[in-house]
Chain A
Amino acid sequence: MYGLCAAAGLLTVLVLGEVIYQVAKGASPSISEFGLSFVFHTRWAPNFNMFGALAAIYGTIVSSFIAIAISAPLGIAIGLYMSLMAPPRVRTVVGPLVEMLAAIPSVIVGFWGVVVLAPFIAHHVEPFLHNVFGFIPLFGPPQTTGLSIFTAGVGLTVMVLPIVAALSRDLFLTVPQDLKDGAAALGATRWEIIRGVVLPTTVSGVAAATVLGLGRALGEAIAVTQMMGDGSGIHVNLFLPGNSLSSRIASEFPSPESKLHIPSLFYLALILLVIGLATSLLARMIASRFDVEKRLAR
């Protein structure tokens, strides 16, 4: 029994090793051809044998940050509501509902994003932002389809929000009742208890939860492929179509156009893998440094 369990554990470790090995192996032709300059080149033209990852890296990072900018405050507020404010009966209903949001398959989120979210954003949100904040180049003239980096970021919220909300709720539940009672006895209102006691004791965990949500957004492929609209190049205007590391892999992997195409897509996967592992490690580091690892162990 011990041997069997240890073997299973070892197999799990081997899976991770195999992941890193396969990605590195698949990327090696492209690495030896382009080297590190691959990361800093913008142009991606498989039929001319030109491969640069920068535009995809840009799309990945910008869309993920839009998603996290929306979901972090919302998710933390939901966590507060579910842990401190809602009556118990509401908690038992809202909690599972929010977690179920995470269960919606990304292909359905993307489908919904294209059919429902994108037209709404194209006709209402983007023109509004363009009219009000048009002097900032980020909010340029919108496109008619609504498929854009901005739409992808908003759509990703559906997937990131439940992660941040569930993790921060669990964190807020671990704040000792004594601390909250003490603040209440001093006459603090609920908001003062939250600001003075709950948030300071959990700030590192909340940061870790946000980073984990960010990791989910960075890696999402299918929904982003559907909502981002397959643009090329780097544009300051958020309302133009773009491409992300994972969406480029998803959309081009099935139909390679030249010999170095697949290895270059593996190279993109390698970059994504490095970013993904780094965010996981960062979340762990933030969490364990302040010894809230156990609370985050879900």
Chain B
Amino acid sequence: MTTRSEAMPGGASLPDPTAPLSPTGNLRRRVAISRLVDAAAMGAALIAVALLVGVAFTVLKRGISAISVDFLTSNQAEGGIANALLGTIEIVAIGALLAMPTGILTGIYLTEFAGPRSRSARALKLVLDLLQGLPTIIVGVVVFGLLVVPMQRETGFAGAVAYAIVMLPMIARASQEVLLLVPGSLREAADALGVDRWRSVLTVILPAAMGGIVTGAILAIARAAGETAPLLICNSIYNPTTVGLDPFQGVPSIPMYIFTTYDLPTETALTRAWGAALVLLTIILIANVGARVVLARSRAKMGI
């Protein structure tokens, strides 16, 4: 078989056109390197998936024995997590109530009212980036100075405000991105009909973007629900036997329950901490999967 290196320089003999196209030594090495890199990249992806499965499996294996109806429905004093679960739901709900209107309206402002290259839009995007990069422990410290010091006590409300600050940039960014995906022709059609901008936002643009905005909000809420650092600073002092959930007192929560229980020396406490972790992780993963389903549906509807 004539190889390329022999054929080319002298030009004496042309390569045989009927010879099978098999790689020469050099190409063989290049292909081998490429395959090697492929395998390494796949290995990296496997590591990431294995990490997720590993953590989830550990939580499941160690937590499942703690789960029972009693565990979910009785108070911390009776060895359950019912009040912590309700407390987390309460804090997250108040936080979401504060963050969602602000975040979504900020997103609308960025796409519908401020010009994309305007100074205000660019400044606002910078602020959102900075807020998003803020360590959550700092958010906790800030709310401590803002609410806990003046009110003289740690409250669930302070925790909720901290959660809201964590959620706000994520919701605003997600809303902005989804609104950018709404076809410009919809806006132009509304403009051509002489509809006011605020009216076209409410009746045309928002309905089209709703699915995506909801997804972004759910993802942000799910992310905040597991945050422990702000609660540790703003809402760590509470009566573990408390049943009432007055947001202006300390409110128990699942992340704080895990954080205060995980290094207790007894086996039952450890099992309970794993059980609480299992409950929290399940809720968060279900919210994540649910949000993705909503997103896929709304994308299909918008034809993107």
Residues of A within 8 A of B (CB): 1-2, 4-9, 11-13, 15-16, 18-19, 22-23, 25-26, 73-75, 77-78, 80-82, 85-86, 94, 96-101, 103-109, 111-112, 114-116, 157-158, 161-162, 165, 189-192, 194, 212, 215, 218-222, 226, 246, 249-250, 253-254, 265-266, 269, 272-273, 276-277, 279-281, 283-284, 297-298
For B105, what are the chain A residues with a Cβ–Cβ distance below 8 Å?
4-5, 7-9
Flag if A222 contacts B101 (CB, 8 Å).
no
Most chain A CB neighbours (cut-off 10 Å) among B38, B54, B114, B123: B38
> How far, in whole Å, are A86 and B130 apart by their CA atoms in the complex?
34
Instruction: Give the dominant DSSP class at A's interface.
Output: helix
Selected from B48, B108, B284, the residue in CB contact (under 8 A) with A161 is B48
Q: Which residues of the other chain, B, contact A253 by a CB distance below 8 angstroms?
A: 141, 144, 232-233
Contact between B37 and A191 (Cβ–Cβ < 8 Å)?
Answer: yes
Given contacts A105-B281, A277-B130, 4 further A-B contacts (CB under 8 A): A103-B284, A190-B37, A219-B137, A280-B129
CA distance A104 to B258 in the complex (A): 14
Cβ-based interface call for B195 (8 A): no
Chain A residues in 8 Å Cβ range of B124: 9, 12-13
16 contacts between A and B (CB under 8 A): A1-B202, A9-B114, A11-B102, A26-B145, A77-B40, A78-B48, A81-B41, A97-B48, A104-B281, A105-B225, A109-B55, A189-B30, A190-B38, A220-B135, A250-B233, A280-B130
A6 to B38, CA, bound (A): 49
A192 contact set on B, CB distance < 8 A: 30, 34
Which chain B residues lie closer than 8 Å to A18 at the CB level? 142, 146
Most buried by B among A25, A101, A215: A101
Interface residues in B, total, Cβ within 8 A: 95
B285 and A107 form a contact (CB under 8 A): no
- Is the pair B258, A250 in contact by a Cβ cutoff of 8 Å? no
Q: Please, how many angstroms separate the alpha-carbon atoms of A80 and B141 in the complex? A: 39
